[in-house]
Structure 1
Amino acid sequence: MSLPDRLVIATQEFALASWQARHIAARLQARYPGLRIDLLDVSGGSADVAVHAMTDMPMRLPDGFVLAVVTEREDPRDAFVSNRHATLADLPPAAVVGISDPRCEAQIRAAFPHLRVAPLLGDVHTHLAELDDGQYDAIILAAASLKGLGLAERIRTCLSTDECLPAPGQGALGLVIPADRPELAVLLAPLNHAETADCVAAERAMSLRLDASCETPLGGFAEVLDEYFLRMRGFVARPDGSEMLRAESNGSRAAAVGLGRQVADLMLTEGARALLIPKV
């Protein structure tokens, strides 16, 4: 099978998506020096590869497309960003924390009920500008996004996964290709990271089993314990953090999808269905 000498990667205009596409292009060109790569806006025509943050990847891909690669996970944690305070615990009562994710909001509300949570709208640079303008005392953003955009210096601290459990797939990128292009799968295969792929498979299987809308506060995070086993944790909650169900299990990497389903089933057995916001 001959590999292509030209590749078109779909991208979008906003900064984070552009960085993700350029990051993948740079990795491919480092491996294949003669490979010509073009970046194409998704509205401008057909592409060979689409790069997605795994947190944004649909649980069910459209017919005719496959997830070919899951890249090595970058920092999966949530970052605390503030100009005046070092940690969440340092914030005074009624301090305003900007959060864009129901998952993170529920966990922060549960742990710090004395704080006020306000929504974040727009992109990362907009969030930071609003923080600097005094609209928030602090904001919570994905650490991987800040680091990818060269803004790691804005991070005061990162929340541990015990403090704020990440979203399924957080910190990893996925590469989607047409199902009938096996030569693309071969070309991209060196970018796949087996450990991350197993973890993300478990996390997404949990989310798919719960089948909740994106408005449901839901976290899922798997970690490699050793060559053969994973630890998987998950939670669902009410948006205000007043009620939260957690589950955890260890299982074989070879059965990562089954492990994710098991964690979902543990929560469903405890009544998680009542906390899930149904899809419209």
Structure 2
Amino acid sequence: MSDFLNSSSSVAAQLAPKRLVIASRESRLAMWQAEHVRDCLKKLYPACDVQILGMTTRGDQILDRALSKVGGKGLFVKELETALEDGRADLAVHSLKDVPMVMPEGFDLACVMAREDARDAFVSNDYASLEELPKGAIVGTSSLRRESVLRAKFPHLEIVPLRGNLDTRMSKLDRGEYQAIILAAAGLKRLGLESRIRNCLPFDPYTPAAGQGALGIETLSKHPNIKQWLAPLNDLATLYAVSAERMVSRQLGGSCEVPLAAYAQWKDQQMDIRSFVASTDGKSFCLATGNAKVNSVAEAEALGLTVAQDLIAQGAENLIPKIAK
């Protein structure tokens, strides 16, 4: 995956695209992400006609069941991949935490853009923090990872599933169905809703999901020229960090069915990573951290593999029967 980092900008300029179509979900956040990529591409290639193909995915349609029960986050990307395969679109923009850890044959994660705030956010109309919530207060979250931490720290709260796009989730809170909800801070900030955040939760213990806050762009493997055009949009620090995170998740069967967290930071050639696997009831945790000098995707993935092996050695497989062996 690192070869595109060395792409020649002069060659890319000579072969500048004339037209590109971006496949995107139609939620307001997904469209913001697609429009952001469109605007970046227009700055790189002013003569290029960049269009957005909005689509509704099965993940958007099935709102009455938890993702872990209906196929996981891959439900948010399959229709977009079909649009790539049949030529209706050239690239697909995803929240990276929704992208399966193993890319389907014929598809590439061609670009990883700069990360927004990776933290989880506490949102409530009546309470300033999780600690202020009274016994029996209803807290909504779509994540088994968040649920496991909340159950461990606040057994007196009622943790319930929360599905729908960001606007739908906020509406449910505003209607009084929940006393608080936990969302990714990145989405709220991207949509100008930062004022709704009461506080951002600390990485310890609220470690994010692999790739949280980052944007990934998917293309077909048979179109290396598109990957080359996207190369200037790559952010090296984010790429290295999410490569380590996704390796941990890949080794541990990461999906919506696994309460798994992985977050890495890369600065001055040093990478720190923290990861945990938990039981869904929050009663058991395996936690691992790592630190190493990292100067390539391969080295980042090697650190991620070491952390995953540490978790497995602690008994993570006993917590999650479906972990990939």
State the match for 1:133 in structure 2: 175
Q: 1:104 & 1:213 partners in 2: Cα distance?
A: 13
Q: Residues 84-233 of structure 1 correspond to what in structure 2 (within 5 A)? A: 84-224=126-266, 226-233=267-274
Distance in 2 between residues matched to 1:275 and 1:231, nearest whole Å: 25
Q: Given the alignment of the two structures, is residue 9 of structure 1 paired with residue 9 of structure 2, yes or no?
A: no
- TM-score of the two chains, using structure 1 as the length reference: 0.95
1:24-79 Cα deviation digits (max 9, x unpaired): 11111123222210111356652111111110111122222211110011010011
Quote the residue 1:271 is aligned against: 315
SS in 2 for 1:41: strand
Question: 2: distance between equivalents of 1:5 and 1:212?
Answer: 38
Aligned AA (1:252): K
In 1, are the aligned partners of 2:16 and 2:45 still within 8 Å (CA)? no
Q: Which amino acid aligns with 2:167?
A: H
Deviation at 1:279, TM superposition (A): 7.0
**Which AA in structure 2 matches 1:9?**
I
Deviation string, structure 1 residues 179-201 (Cα, Å, up to 9, x no partner) = 12222122111110001000000
Q: Is 2:86 the counterpart of 1:73?
A: no
Give the structure with the larger helix fraction. Answer: 2
- Post-superposition Cα deviations, 1:225-277, rounded to whole Å, max 9, x if no partner, equal x3222011100001110111100011232310011111010010011101114
User: What is the CA-CA distance between 1:212 and the residue it aligns to?
Assistant: 4.3
Amino acid at match of 1:231: D
1:30 has 2:74 as partner: no
What corresponds to 2:276 in structure 1? 235
Tell me if structure 2 keeps the 8 A contact 1:249–1:263.
yes
**RMSD value, Cα:** 1.6
Q: Which runs of 5+ in 2 are unaligned?
A: 1-10, 56-78
Q: CA deviation at 1:121?
A: 1.7
For structure 1, which segment, 22-31 or 72-81, has the greater mean C-alpha deviation from structure 2 after superposition? 22-31
Aligned to 1:261: 305
Q: Report the AA paired with residue 287 of structure 2.
A: R
| Aligned with 1:82 (options 124, 145, 157) | 124
2: CA distance, partners of 1:34 / 1:278:
49
Aligned residue pair count: 279
Report the residue type matching 1:235 in the other structure: F
What is the percent sequence identity of the aligned residues? Answer: 46
- The separation in 1 between residues aligned to 2:254 and 2:317, in whole angstroms, is 9
Q: Residues of 1 paired with 2:301 and 2:311: CA distance?
A: 16
Q: TM-score, normalised by structure 2?
A: 0.82
For residue 127 of structure 1, report the CA deviation from its aligned partner.
Answer: 1.2
Question: Residues 209 and 104 (structure 1 numbering): CA distance in 2 closer, same or farther, change over 3 Å?
Answer: same
Gaps of 5+ in 1: none
Q: Distance in 1 between matches of 2:137 and 2:36?
A: 37
Pair 1:246-2:287 in alignment: yes
Kept in 2, the 8 Å contact 1:99–1:120? The answer is yes
Specify the alignment match of 1:39 in structure 2.
52
- 1:95 deviates by 1.2
Counterpart AA for 1:138: A
The letter for the 1-side match of 2:30 is A
One-letter amino acid of the structure 2 residue matched with residue 264 of structure 1: A
